Structure formats: C-alpha cells, structure tokens
Chain A
Amino acid sequence: MDDQMRPAGEAGPSGSSEGILGGAWGGSTRRDFMRTAIAAGVAIGIPMTLQGCVLGAAGRKKLDFGDDFGVLNYAYALETLEADFYKHVTQNPPSDLKPGELQVLRDIGAHEKEHQRFFKRALNVLRIEIPDRDFSSIVMTRDGVLGAAKTFEDLGVAAYNGAGSRVKLAEFLTIAGKIVSVEARHAAAIRDLIEPNSRSFAGDDVIDAMGMDRAMQPAEVLERAQPFFRGRLKVANL
C-alpha cells in the first residue's frame, strides 16, 4: 500500500517490514527483531558497536541523541513533518498559485515522501512515534503556503547541517549529505518562486559573510518545529 494513502496518523511500527538491516526482517516484536538483527548485522558487516546501538535503541519512545538512531529519528520526524505539509497544501492548493508553482510543490512533496519512507524503512522498530501534525496556523494562500515552505526547507537544511557532526557512522553521514543538498535545492526553488531572479535563493538572511549556510542544533530546530506538532516530541541526551 502506498504511504500516500495512509491517514495522517502514520502507520504503526508494524506497518513496515523492512528495516535497517536489509529486507526480510518481518519480526513484529522486539525480541524477534533483536534475534534477526544480530544475525543480519554479522551478515552484512555492521560493526559490533553499531549492533550494540541497535539493540539498545529498540523500543524507544524518545528522540535519544545518545546514538545515531536518535539522529536518524530526528531526521525522520522532520521529513514526516515536511512530507505531510506538502501533502496538506497540494491536496487543496491555494487558488492564487501561479502556473507551474503547484508542480514544484508536488515535486518537492514527492522528494520529502521518499526521505520519510527511507528513514521509516531504515529505522523499522527503532522508529519513534511522531506526534500528529498540525498545519492550522498556515494561511492557505499562495503567500502563506510558499512562506511556510520556505521556513520548512531552510529549517531542514540548517537541521541536517547542524546534525552532521553528531553522526558516528560514515554511511549515515553520506546519506544525510545526499538528502541535505536536495533540501537546499528545495529552499532555493521556493525562494525563487517568492522572489524570482533575485539574491534570495541564497540570501544574506540565511548565508553568512563566509558564504556559509546555517547549521542549527536539534534543540533549536525542534523548538521551531514544535508548533506544527499536536503533541510534544520527547528528547533525551541532547
């Protein structure tokens, strides 16, 4: 079943049967998962230290920044928020969007959905529950929607940039790198819709005198994202 069809409440942990350790690990309980996890970790050469992290992290309910899975869950929460936002605004788009703009929002929404899907499949039972999303504060006009999109994309870029040095496994850093540049492309595209052919795509409001983008720590990112969640995201070891 396509994720697009799921209700906003998110499929539960049993909704996906593939996880960080490959494809066939359908274990729906923590014990099943851990049993297959050990075998799979050995099979594909995941370092023992990481396997320890996997076993330690299974069944958590918080964003625990003590290991890479906390960082991955953090990314998962943000991608879920973005994916839902674009779903929300493209289902009943504002009537004053200009030609072509809806397609840009749809493209970006499809990318965010892929990012969310990636983390969901990667984390499997290590996935935390994401509180329901709340977009009632976003004014459903062209200005309102593009303004919110700009906020989300700039925030996403800053979040990945700030989290990069927390990641311990090189493979995860590389994947985060593959994603963050696409978020930055989104940010530029949205800014270009708002202020075409201007300096805004990489404006002085986000890029400093050294030509560098923002890097934001998780606490600040979560504080800015919190208004769009109905419940609080619980955090540990920040």
Chain B
Amino acid sequence: MPNDMLFRNEPKRLLGEARLRRDTVDVLNFALVLEELEAEFYTRGVSANMLPDDVKPVFDQIRKHEVAHVAFIRGALGGDAVAKPTFDFTAGGMFADVFSNPQTFMMLAEAFEDTGVRAYKGQAATLMPDPTVLEAALKIHSVEARHAAEVRRIRGQKGWISGSSRGDLPAAAQKVYDGESNTFHFILAKPSSQKLGLSEAFDEPLTKGQVLEIVRPFLGGR
C-alpha cells in the first residue's frame, strides 16, 4: 500500500512535514481542553475589572501565556483539534462570584494551575516518540509551574505543594492534590529525614482520567 493511502486519514501537523501520531493527537487535544479552559478563565477574569491593580499584571501575564498555548496547540493539530468546549466557571453555582470576587478567582486559578502542571507531567512519556512535541510540551509545562507558584504566593501560600495539602482551598479541590505526598520515584525507596521537603521537591503526575474528573464540573453549561 502506498504511503499516501496508509496515512490518508492521519493528522497533518504544523511542526514540520511529518504527521502526528494518533497518541500525540490525543495528548494535544487533552492539553488543548485545559488550555482553552485557562485561556477563557483568565481572559474573563482580567477583563472583569475586579482584580486589584497590584496583582493585575500577574494575571494578565498568565492570560497572555494561556492564550498563546491555545494558539500553538490548535495550530499544531490543525483539522484534528477538538472544538472549543463551553465552560461554566461557577461549577454549577459553587463558585458563583468567580468573576466578581478576586478571592474566588484566585482560588480557582491556583487549583487550575496546580492541575495543569500535574496534567502535562502525566502525558510526557506518551510523547516520547515525538521529540519536537515533547519539548514543546515540556516548555509549556514549566510555564504552568511558574504560574502555579506565583498564584500560590499571591494567595499567601508557599510556591510549592507540601504533602497532599490543598492549603486553604475548599474540599472540592482536594482531588487536585491527592497523591502529591508520594515519595517513591521509581527507585527511591528510603524516606529522607525531611519528609515534607522530600514531598515538596517532587511534583506528581495525574492521569488523564484524574484530570478530567477535576475539570468536569467546569465543562459545559452556559
């Protein structure tokens, strides 16, 4: 069978002439949903005129990055990109004042960023056969981690996650932090004398399923 036939239904790609693997397309579409969620969240939050002047530049910078991530991933996927979902950032009314109360907005921002970091981390291995995409994903992943640390610090938290603590976030956010206290990393079996430092020193991945469970309350609606 000629290559043309073989690959006729395979996705095209923007990152070069080669075509994206099906697994890579799935990962990118998964990432795209998260980036769309973040991009719309910050775009609405920043334009809502509720944020205090002293933190506005921070959230505008994050907005800028999330919008750029959406554009990059959509471009990479071309016709294989999923449609932009609709979002309900109140999560069915649980966060009714998300775009009028900066405290609620920043709380959700922390949860979304810490989720994003763990979500990308969980997909890295799947991208290994596609080094260009892997590197792009890594470069986005560390930006999400910078965002997470900054939002946490603005909210008076440490920049890093201690144990599986959700800090002052509501119980509904616990799923974002479950499993973060893991201190076994393939080979490191012996616990250190400073256990908290050890758990802080390693962020943990989430599976696609775990991430979707976290974001599901924010999907749909309107």
Question: Which residues of A line the B interface, CB within 8 A?
Answer: 2, 18, 20-23, 104, 107, 110-115, 117-118, 121-122, 157, 160-162, 164-165, 167, 170-175, 177-189, 192, 197-199, 201-203, 207, 209-215
Contacts and interface: CB of A to CB of B under 8 A. Distances in A.
Interface centre among B60, B146, B204 (most CB of A within 10 A): B146
Given A20-B187, A197-B58, A202 B146 contact: yes
A49 to B, nearest CB: 15
B158 A107 contact: yes
A59 to B, nearest CB: 20
B186 A175 contact: yes
Nearest to A203: B61
Contacts of A170: 125, 128
A173 to B, nearest CB: 5
B58 A118 contact: no
Nearest to A185: B149
17 contacts: A104-B159, A111-B160, A111-B200, A157-B142, A160-B142, A175-B186, A184-B141, A185-B149, A185-B159, A192-B159, A197-B55, A202-B146, A211-B64, A211-B65, A211-B68, A214-B139, A215-B139
A215 B140 CA distance: 10
Contacts, number: 200
Interface in B75-124: 117, 120-121, 124
Contacts of A185: 145-146, 148-149, 159-160, 203
B32 interface: no
Interface string B46-67: 0000000011011011101111
Interface stretch (B1-9, B129-137, B170-178): B129-137
- Grouping DSSP codes into helix (H, G, I), strand (E, B) and loop, the B interface class, with mixed when no group exceeds half, is helix
A157 B145 CA distance: 10
B43 to A, nearest CB: 14
A154 to B, nearest CB: 10
Interface residues of B, number: 61
A170 B134 CA distance: 12
Nearest to A118: B188
A18 B200 contact: no
A100 to B, nearest CB: 11
Given A170-B128, A199-B58, A186 B159 contact: yes
B201 A111 contact: yes
Nearest to B186: A171
Given A197-B55, A202-B150, A122 B200 contact: no
B189 interface: yes
A173 B125 contact: yes
Given A107-B197, A171-B186, A184 B136 contact: no
